[in-house]
Structure 1
């Protein structure tokens, strides 16, 4: 038995370093910059197209721009967090990736079906992206749930009458 005082779970959480790890900062900056660069690139392509574009093409450009801006917002949000995230950032990234892969697969499949070329290839490749994004999203939800469960267990142990 040591004479060191035991910290409660809340005290331990309060003592956590509130800065992001180097890897998290790098990922946040990469998401922010890639999102902004993608939004600028897609928007410049959209505006530089000659003549009026069909409605589906305008919708596709708009959706791609929205996804790029979503990644930029995610990177900015992650950089501004000063609290333990408990894997929330992975859940958010998973949902963005899943939405982007589903919509992109749908647009690509629609374009392939209209042109009569490569529908199965578009569905197969898009399906791989959707499956990967879905897998990462499910894993992120499970990891976050496990971390929150552990936090609740530690918090309950600190209460009077809790297990020590």
Structure 2
């Protein structure tokens, strides 16, 4: 039986959690491609509109483009990581989803109020998306905290 060399805590952590598993690489690639495709689609639709669009429509197209770019940047950032992330990727994704769902719900609710129809439906459906994103954010922060706590334990560091 061969004896393994003594590993530092950092080396042990790197062996325990690969920096980017195959599943995470696939999810990162999907986020990158979906974000880029969404950006191309929304901007093409925006630019192809005849005549001047109202300011709120311009704002909606701009926000949708920003959300798509955020997902594309997230996917690209995740694909370039070569170190253990300790669930940072999950926290970032959850915050993107939360900001996008809150903003979209607010926009749809504002349109519903302006038109005088469907505010309850807009808030109910938007609220479901916001609640789901909030649950994901809480879970992601919890997972990250647990991983960082375990890392400190392995490194023998005191909690601050």
TM-score (norm 2): 0.91
Cα displacement string for residues 111-156 of structure 1 (whole angstroms, at most 9, x for unaligned residues):
1111112111010000000000000001000100010001001100
Q: Which runs of 5+ in 1 are unaligned?
A: none
Match of 2:106 in 1: 106
Cα displacement string for residues 64-108 of structure 1 (whole angstroms, at most 9, x for unaligned residues):
000000000000000000000000000000000000000000111
Match of 2:94 in 1: 94
Q: Which runs of 5+ in 2 are unaligned?
A: none
Match of 2:142 in 1: 142
RMSD of equivalent CA atoms: 1.9
Aligned mates of 1:108, 1:81 — CA distance in 2: 36
Aligned mates of 1:4, 1:75 — CA distance in 2: 36
Runs (4 or more) in structure 1 with deviation over 4 Å come to: 3-6, 14-19
Helix, strand or coil at the partner of 1:105: helix
Check 1:80–1:4 CA distance in 2 against 1; reply closer, same or farther (3 A cut).
closer
Structure with max Cα Rg: 1
1:45 deviation in Å?
1.1
Aligned mates of 1:79, 1:6 — CA distance in 2: 30
Query: Residues 109 and 123 of structure 2 are in contact (CA less than 8 Å); yes or no, is this contact kept in structure 1?
Result: yes
Query: Residues 38 and 65 of structure 2 are in contact (CA less than 8 Å); yes or no, is this contact kept in structure 1?
Result: yes
1:25 deviation in Å?
0.6
TM-score (norm 1): 0.89
1:4 deviation in Å?
5.8
Any residues of structure 2 matched to 1:56-75 within 5 Å, and which? 56-75=56-75
1:17 deviation in Å?
7.1
| Count of aligned residue pairs for this structure pair | 156
